[in-house]
Amino acid sequence: MERRIIHIDMDAFYAQVEQRDNPEYRGRPIIVGGKSESRGVVATASYEARKFGVHSAMPTKQAYKLCPDGIYVRPRFDTYKAVSKKIMDIFLSYTEIVEPLSLDEAYLDITHLVSRERSAQSIALDIQRDIFDVTKLTSSSGISYNRYLAKIASGMNKPAGTTVIHYDNVQDILFGLDIGDFPGVGRVTEEKMKSLDIHTGKDLYEWEEKALVQHFGKKGTSLHQKARGIGTSELKVERIRKSIGKETTFHYDINDDDEILKVIEELSAKVGDKLELQQYAGKVVTVKMKTSDYATHSRQMMANNPIFTEAEIYHYAYSLYHELKDPDVPIRLIGVTVSQLSDRTYRNLTIYDFM
């Protein structure tokens, strides 16, 4: 099955959060990483600071020499982690096949979402829009058929860009790429390659695998493949979603069946939408409620066949609610969950599904 991989990379993440939270920082060079006289290093530099040559991992003292009028701030990792959690939740609302690389970037496998009616690029744009709507931060995305090409693509049109690498343009892009921009080529490897007159992807392409292995060991095989657009599409996923659910906490204790059932119907629709988006179906429906005395109760029912539509979910949730609800006890929370999930569809995709 041909994969469709998106690499999402937040734009100057830490610095952008600082500019969002401090309006007076907007449009000014922001360097996150501590005081200029410290021995620290730059964690992130805003795009305004990058114009002065400041970049991540640079000693802060050196950054100060390049940009003495910049605003130097200490990182607020608790804040960055909280924002990152919101971004990760957005990723997981699209697909469970997510491999986070850091607080500000991740790979997503969206193969199961792509169709003739919905391209990989349109999905990436939807994700970027959702990130901005929730966090007011911009991101860049790269789309391709393997991991490393998606990562290259996400860096090509920053900030707030979207780039697709497919079979028709991959070789042109790789030929023009500086050798240091290939993922996995660090400073030491880059220097060695340039000493061998390998400066671009085109130069690398012209080398035989045997010669690359001779100079770079096992890494030579990987370099030979990367010059030809060959790489793995498998993501390292630690979390596998076992259920999809939604719940609502009322502003006041409620005991009106019609009003509660209306909310259950809305929750069933939201769960159904998520199942549809992620192409899942489930066999177990659970209704949870919290009563006015803060006691939590739940009950579940197994369907004969996997379900995913709003009507099917509400059918079971309606019955479970009436089994669970004490007519004399108000509630303050109601929730609907579908579990024992399985994939609904598998598709073989073509190059046209990118665009």
pLDDT digits (tens, 9 = 90+) for 234-284: 787 755 567 899 999 898 899 999 999 999 999 999 999 888 887 889 999
The whole-number pLDDT of residue 171 equals 94
Give the span between the Cα atoms of 270 and 274, in whole angstroms: 6
CA-wise closest residue to 143 among 129, 162, 169: 162
The annotation status of 104 as a binding-site residue, yes or no, is yes
How many residues make up the chain in this entry? 355
From the CA atom positions of the chain, what is the Rg in Å? 25
Residue 99 has pLDDT above 50, yes or no: yes
The three state secondary structure string of 219-258 is HHHHHHHHCCCCCCCCCCCCCCCCEEEEEEEEEEEECCHH
106-110, 162-166, 233-237: segment of lowest average pLDDT: 233-237
The whole-number pLDDT of residue 69 equals 93
Residue 346 has pLDDT above 70, yes or no: no
- pLDDT bracket for residue 228 (50, 70, 90): very high
What is the pLDDT of the chain when averaged over all its residues?
90
Q: Hunting for tokens 């509660």 — which residue is that?
A: 260
Amino acid at 324: L
CA-wise closest residue to 104 among 72, 54, 141: 141
Question: How far are the Cα atoms of 120, 228, 279, 298 from residue 112, in angstroms, in the given order?
Answer: 10, 26, 7, 32
The whole-number pLDDT of residue 148 equals 92
Q: Which structural domains are found in the chain, ordered by start?
A: 1-166 (3.30.70.270), 169-228 (1.10.150.20), 243-343 (3.30.1490.100)
- pLDDT bracket for residue 342 (50, 70, 90): confident
The annotation status of 78 as a binding-site residue, yes or no, is no
- pLDDT bracket for residue 34 (50, 70, 90): low
Residue 350 has pLDDT above 50, yes or no: no
Q: What is the mean pLDDT of residues 280-309?
A: 89
The whole-number pLDDT of residue 162 equals 96
Q: What is the mean pLDDT of residues 318-346?
A: 87
Residue 355 has pLDDT above 70, yes or no: no
In 3-state terms, what secondary structure has residue 134?
Answer: helix
- pLDDT bracket for residue 36 (50, 70, 90): low
Q: What is the dihedral of CA 98, 236, 271, 10, to 10 degrees?
A: -10
Give the span between the Cα atoms of 153 and 173, in whole angstroms: 9
The whole-number pLDDT of residue 1 equals 58
Residues serving a catalytic function are 105
CB atoms within 10 A of CB 190: 17
Q: Hunting for tokens 């003292």 — which residue is that?
A: 61
Contact call for residues 9 and 137 (beta carbons, < 8 A): no
Which one-letter DSSP state was computed for residue 40? -
6-15, 42-51, 299-308: segment of lowest average pLDDT: 299-308
Give the span between the Cα atoms of 152 and 175, in whole angstroms: 13
Residue 50 has pLDDT above 90, yes or no: yes
More confident residue, 294 or 155: 155
Contact call for residues 144 and 111 (beta carbons, < 8 A): no
pLDDT, tens digit (0-9, with 9 covering 90-100), for 176-211: 999 999 988 888 899 999 999 999 999 999 999 999
Q: What is the mean pLDDT of residues 66-74?
A: 93
The whole-number pLDDT of residue 276 equals 84
The whole-number pLDDT of residue 39 equals 63
What residue ranges in the chain does DSSP mark as E strands? Answer: 5-10, 30-32, 44-45, 71-73, 98-102, 105-109, 139-144, 162-164, 243-254, 280-291, 296-307, 331-343
